[in-house]
Structure 1
Amino acid sequence: MSDSSTNSQTTIYKGNIIFTPTSKEFNILKNGYIVVENGRVKEVLSILPDKYKNQNVIDYGNKLIIPGFSDLHFHAPQYANRGLGMDKELLPWLNQYTFPEEAKYADPNYAKKIYKRVVKEIWKQGTTRIVVFSSLHKESTKILLDYFIQSGLGAYVGKVGMDRNSPDFLIETTELSLSDTEEILKEYGNKSNIVKPIVTPRFVPTCTPESLGGFGELAAKYNVPIQSHISENLGEVEWVKELHPEFEDYASVYNNFKCFGQVPTVMAHCVHNTDKEIDLMAKNGVYAAHCPNANYNLASGIMPVRKFLNKGVNVGLGTDVGAGHKVSIPNVMVAAMQASKIKWLESDKKLDWLTTEEAFYLGTKGSGSFFGNVGSFEEGYEFDALVIDDSSLGDLNITLRERLQRYIYIGDDRNIIERYVAGKKIEEPQLD
């Protein structure tokens, strides 16, 4: 409803509001109100004051209103491979399953068929912002960007760079890798407020020093972020040492080529980082995308997430489809909590496990902060929200914290009745 005094668009939502301004505790308002102005949260209130008495209120009754989920690591062209090759380690899995599947995206028609399903599934699972790898194919990457723009979801989408140590059917020249990336940066840099391109070297083993240096220069030139992988698997870490004995560690390779926090950067997995690498991530503001399902499935190990948090690294969650078998961020929250409990035991109880509050924070504000003021209901934050009907899950005569915890563990997309992104209600995408 329009407020004539400010010529702004104001909407008020009522329900059981739960969010995490910090990772320490939930902010819970039973039968509370969220005032949203021009797509951003203006205030959250227990009682609606008289100044809003003429505003329409959208009342969700006894349902839960929570921030939308943010996913920091997702491989769109691997969606059709979910659940396949799960008895392999990373490098054999890439060669036997992933690379042959990604090669299919040379065909734009195949890309359209799968990417329509991908974007609809992301919407369905309540993910409102996501950081996505495409394949190395320029046209298919543009299709994926266009679908996200049509959907109303927020996304960073990157064309993968691969110019060495890759199969003949899935490799590009350094020049083409950089020129195709730059073309996408130019074409899509200002096409949408919430869907943007991101520079995407796959990882050090498949990127020459020339391409890594070029990616760092492009990211700086166009002021766009970077995504890649680091220290997912022990064999991968050893391979990087063999390829680059001139550098002290894996992180130093990226850092040398200005791909490690010189612009906003997210690195997936971080299972086997050294303490020095973790310190560099904290110093440079590099995000760690924690992908426990994928790390379990490919026998990579368990990220010591508490160590990263204690050192001040920005940590968010990633589904890592298709090494991760579920698109659901709540499913990843559960896996992250379980993984942290194993690390607690392995560390002689020195690395505390994640609480429900912390896991929820990582999947909302922790990941969302990569997109700006996203993932919370604090003043000035974009209103990304989910409305949850958890009545099918059991007795509602428990605390709101318990209801949210139960939804995280045993709920699913059927419990999500509304989705909002930047203040707009997002219906199921109808993609051309």
Structure 2
Amino acid sequence: MTQVTAYRAAILHSLADPARVGLDASHAYYEDGVLVVADGHICDIGPADQVLARQPTNLEVIRFENKLITAGFIDTHIHFPQTEMIASYGEQLLDWLNNYTFPEERKFADPAHARRVASFFLDELLRNGTTTAMVFGTVHKASVDAFFSESEKRNTRMIAGKVMMDRHAPDYLLDTPESAYADSKALIERWHHKGRQLYAVTPRFAPTSTADQLAVAGRLLQEYPDVYLQTHLSENKQEIAWVKELFPERKGYLDVYDHFGLLGERSVFAHAVHLEQEECERMGETDSVISFCPTSNLFLGSGLFDLPRMEAHQVRVGLGTDVGGGTSFSMLQTIAEAYKIQQLQQHKLHPLKALYLATLGGAKALSLDDRIGNLTVGKEADFLVLDLHATPLIQARMKNAHNLFEQLFVLMMLGDDRVIAETYIYGDCCYRRH
């Protein structure tokens, strides 16, 4: 028997990129709206009077006061093994990796440790309203099995992959081109399209993979054309110089990946803070994706990402928390830092654009906008109930908010995990704030 439930509150969701269609056409807002969910999918949405008039009179309606329903947040770059080393003091990227990250990732050779952290990590995502994420494991195959097993239990739509790394890291974290291929292939066969799970081929970044291993990554993408690729690109100037030393025959950092066939519509490159003009053009030509990671770019002192510049080259951009270089699981706090980074460059990030980046824009970046990213009929029912009175300060500030945009901006500037009242996965409530 089909389970049908309706949710009544203010409802806001993105319909398109405000930069392309203008603010008014970019969203739908119902001050008193109803969202109807059946079998994990959205089957009706609109003004309450209209939706209720066309639904059965005995429909179960759950009503929320001082709440806003919106689509689940989508995090396009995060490292689950770095959960328990978040907020590690005082280093820039390369030293931070050697001093903090690699020793922490060593622990994931133990499947029990990997399961425990994966469980905590996924619960933390849901507590912060993130319903889909693109996730790095470690070099250990068991870390990804553990992650997908925990995700499958929660029915979350996740993309993840085993890190490929065969040089310039401690011996205990190195694989080989051959083992990286075999392990990745086995994980793809086991998990890609199993329920809501999806796989990403995951070379950590160019300095930690030999040419042979990057060629293996390209081979996997050819053999499995609908898997993803995730890696890092042009995060830190010292890193870029190192890549040029390691690959002197290539034109630059992006060209290393391009040479091995790693660019394309399902290829997500985290950071891309310091791209050269030719690299921006090539990203656009190949329909490759950038994950903008504001809190880690600031925390590690990497630089300021120029969002309008990338969009001028028609590059799809999603938001990433990049935990543990990033400092929060909260997409709201990530938006707040993204806003400040654009301000420093004399760009404005409108709250509707920020909502787009955190929801539908993230779905488009991950080529999943046919399934998730907003609340249109037919989409999977991953959605949030946001509390407009989450804290005394937010409640006080809301009294002076004159329109929807101000309300949204207050949530983005002052909000964190406390704003998430409930998180729904495939129509089921998977988190409720107590």
DSSP 3-state at the match of 1:169: helix
In the alignment, is the contact (CA less than 8 A) between 2:351 and 2:405 conserved in 1?
A: no
Q: CA deviation at 1:254?
A: 0.9
What whole-Å deviation, never above 9, does each CA across 1:247-275 have from its counterpart, x for those lacking one?
112111111211111x5111100100112
Cα distance in 1, alignment partners of residues 386 and 357 from structure 2 = 19
286, 306, 309: which one aligns with 2:308: 306
Residues 1:255 and 2:258 aligned together: yes
Structure 1 CA distance for aligned equivalents of residues 209 and 255 of structure 2: 15
Match of 1:184 among 183, 187, 190: 187
Match of 1:163 among 161, 166, 171: 166
Instruction: Note the 1:152-301 alignment, pairs <5 A.
Output: 152-192=155-195, 194-222=196-224, 223-261=226-264, 264-301=266-303
Letter in 2 for 1:203: F
- Tell whether the 8 Å contact from 2:231 to 2:268 is kept in structure 1 after alignment: yes
Partner of 1:401: 405
Cα gap change, 1:38 to 1:117, in 2 (>3 Å)? closer
**1:378 partner amino acid:** T
2:78 match = 74
Tell me how far 1:43 sits from its aligned partner. Answer: 4.0
1:148 aligns with 2:146: no
**Alpha-carbon displacement from aligned partner over 1:340-380 (angstroms, at most 9, x marks no partner):** 01122xxxxxxx32111111211111112213332112333
* Structure-1 separation of matches of 2:278 and 2:30: 42
- SS of corresponding position for 2:345: helix
- Secondary structure class of the residue paired with 2:87: coil
Going from structure 1 to structure 2, the CA distance change for 1:14 and 1:187 (only over 3 Å counts) comes to same
Amino acid at match of 2:161: G
Q: Give the Cα–Cα distance (whole angstroms) in 1 for the partners of residues 83 and 333 of structure 2.
A: 16
Residues in 2 aligned to 1:113 and 1:189: alpha-carbon distance in whole angstroms: 22
Residue 5 of structure 1 corresponds to none
CA distance in 2, matches of 1:44, 1:190: 28
Structure 1 contact 164–171 (Cα < 8 Å) conserved:
yes
Work out the number of aligned pairs and report it.
412
Residue 317 of structure 1 is matched in structure 2 by 319
- Report the more deviating stretch, 112-121 or 40-49: 40-49
Please tell me whether residue 363 in structure 1 is matched to residue 380 in structure 2. no
Give the aligned partner of residue 17 of structure 1: 11
Q: Which TM-score applies when normalising by structure 1?
A: 0.91
Amino acid at match of 1:163: D
CA distance in 2, matches of 1:378, 1:113: 35
Could you tell me how far apart the structure 1 residues matched to 2:352 and 2:404 are? 13
**Aligned-pair distance for 1:196?**
1.8
**Do 1:152 and 1:426's aligned partners in 2 also have CA atoms closer than 8 Å?**
no
The SS at the match of 2:66 is: strand
- Uncovered stretches (5+) of structure 2, i.e. residues with no partner: none
- Give the percent of matched residue pairs that are identical in Structure 1 and Structure 2: 34
Letter in 2 for 1:22: A
Q: Could you tell me how far apart the structure 1 residues matched to 2:213 and 2:428 are? A: 39
1:151-181 deviation digits (Å, cap 9, x = unpaired): 2222111100001222222111221111111
Aligned position for 2:121: 118
Cα drift, residue 56 of structure 1 = 2.8
Q: CA separation in 2, counterparts of 1:343 and 1:287?
A: 22
2:369 alignment partner, one of 367, 372, 376: 372
Higher mean alpha-carbon deviation, 123-132 vs 44-53, is at 44-53
Distance 1:276 1:43, change over 3 A: farther
Q: Deviations over 1:83-109 (max 9, x none)?
A: 113x21111111111111111111222
Gaps in structure 1 of 5+ consecutive residues:
3-8, 345-351
Give the deviation of 1:141 after TM superposition. 1.7
Counterparts of 1:322 and 1:33 in 2: how far apart (Å)? 37
Task: Give, as a single letter, the amino acid of the residue that structure 2 aligns with 1:160.
Answer: V
1:382 maps to amino acid: E
Cα shift readout 1:117-144 (whole Å, capped 9, x = no counterpart): 2111111111000000010001122111
- Aligned AA for 1:16? A
| 2-structure distance, mates of 1:190, 1:269 | 27
Shift of 1:37: 4.3
Q: Secondary structure at the match of 1:394?
A: helix
Report if the CA contact (8 A) 1:132-1:156 is conserved: yes
Once the two structures are overlaid, the 10-residue window that deviates more, 374-383 or 14-23, is 374-383
2:29 aligned partner, one-letter code: I
The alignment partner of 2:334 has SS state of helix
Counterpart in the other structure of 1:389: 387
Over the aligned positions, Cα root-mean-square deviation in angstroms equals: 1.8
